Structure 1
Amino acid sequence: MSRPRNGWVLPASLLLALLLGVLPLPGILQALRPYWLALVLAYWLLEAPDRVGLGSAFLLGLLADLAFGSLLGEHALRLVVLAFILERFRARLRFFPVTQQALTIGVLLVNDRVITAILHLLTGTPPLPWAYWLAPLVGMLLWPPLHLLLDALRLRRRA
């Protein structure tokens, strides 16, 4: 083993992502909030597939449904779709440079918005305002620094 693993980083990062998702924000910032849970889960699906998978995505989604007060199963479905796609293409995505990974993550976040829009349509919930469609762009721009931060925490040597 070349580097020891910091086991606390995975649960702490997912908990922080969940908390960032429920943090109240003013008007336009609320619409631009990236889907932190999806970003952090995507990182772990790419870098530690032995520790997270479809089951983790489903359970995390149910927890998010309870925390966000949304339709039970909505976040679970969204995260499972994201996890399935990432698991399917993990071997290719891992070797992309971080900037190309960011583009891929952006497309996955747009896919997540499409799923959300379809769910809103099916349940009769009012559609999301147009500004919410900018959040995947924010998530795509945040991917490189988030990836570097989580890499640094995950791979840091224990003193």
Structure 2
Amino acid sequence: MRAYPRWVLYASLLGALLLGLLPLPELLQPVRPYWLALVLAYWLIEDPDRVGLGFAFLLGLVADLAYGSLLGEQALRLVILAFIVQRFRARLRFFPIYQQALTLGALLLNDRIVSAGLRLALGEPTLPASFWIAPVVGMLLWPVVYVLLDALRIGRWRR
């Protein structure tokens, strides 16, 4: 694997965090893709030596603080996603991009189920039906995210 500057990893995750904070109209808010999960999944597939479960947990804690959610909620969701991606990394890495997108859609749907379960356990109100559209949006965005991050990672850093 060709070495890339570490700032690419951190800048992409910061960008995903900021995209999650970007204000959206009330109508579009429930369909916001889980940007952190998409970017984290990319790095889990492409660079498992630098990104793992501990990294996902710390990233989730940062996201909890940034988004103002229950401390540990994002961390739990990202660790579950990271565990599944790591478990099936060898297969995922060699899937064509459309199969990766379908797999990421299933992982994002699983994330929504975990989130809904946490809300149910905490006695929070149920979420609107549009809450379940976000995994489809994330699945459709996966090829774009993958190609952009791959271009950044494989860029010409050495001359």
Please state which band the TM-score falls in when normalised by the shorter chain. over 0.9
1:110-137 CA-partner distances (Å, limit 9, x unpaired): 0000000000000011121111100000
State the distance in 2 between where 1:4 and 1:61 align.
Answer: 26
Residue 78 (structure 2) aligns with: 79
State the distance in 1 between where 2:127 and 2:17 align.
Answer: 21
TM alignment of 1:91-106, pairs within 5 A: 91-106=90-105
TM-score scaled by length of structure 2:
0.96
State the distance in 2 between where 1:7 and 1:155 align.
Answer: 12
**1:27 has 2:26 as partner:** yes
**1:113 has 2:112 as partner:** yes
Q: Helix, strand or coil for the counterpart of 1:24?
A: coil
Residue 153 (structure 2) aligns with: 154
Note closer, same or farther for the CA distance 1:150–1:77 as it changes in structure 2 (3 Å cut).
same
Q: Is the 8 A contact 1:109 1:136 kept in 2?
A: yes
Question: Where do 4+ consecutive residues of structure 1 move more than 3 Å?
Answer: none
Q: Helix, strand or coil for the counterpart of 2:100?
A: helix
1:69-98 CA-partner distances (Å, limit 9, x unpaired): 111110000000000000000011101001
Residue 66 (structure 1) aligns with: 65
Residue 38 (structure 1) aligns with: 37
TM-score scaled by length of structure 1:
0.96
Instruction: Quote the offset at 1:5 in angstroms.
Output: 1.3
Q: Helix, strand or coil for the counterpart of 2:48?
A: coil
Where structure 1 has 5 or more consecutive residues not aligned to the other structure, the ranges are none
Q: Report the AA paired with residue 58 of structure 1.
A: F
Instruction: Quote the offset at 1:6 in angstroms.
Output: 3.0
1:30-88 CA-partner distances (Å, limit 9, x unpaired): 11110000000000000000110000000000111111111111000000000000000
Q: Helix, strand or coil for the counterpart of 2:65?
A: helix
RMSD of aligned residue pairs (Cα, Å): 1.0
Instruction: Quote the offset at 1:24 in angstroms.
Output: 1.1
Q: Report the AA paired with residue 6 of structure 2.
A: G
Residue 141 (structure 1) aligns with: 140
State the distance in 2 between where 1:110 and 1:75 align.
Answer: 15
Where structure 2 has 5 or more consecutive residues not aligned to the other structure, the ranges are none
Q: Report the AA paired with residue 102 of structure 2.
A: L
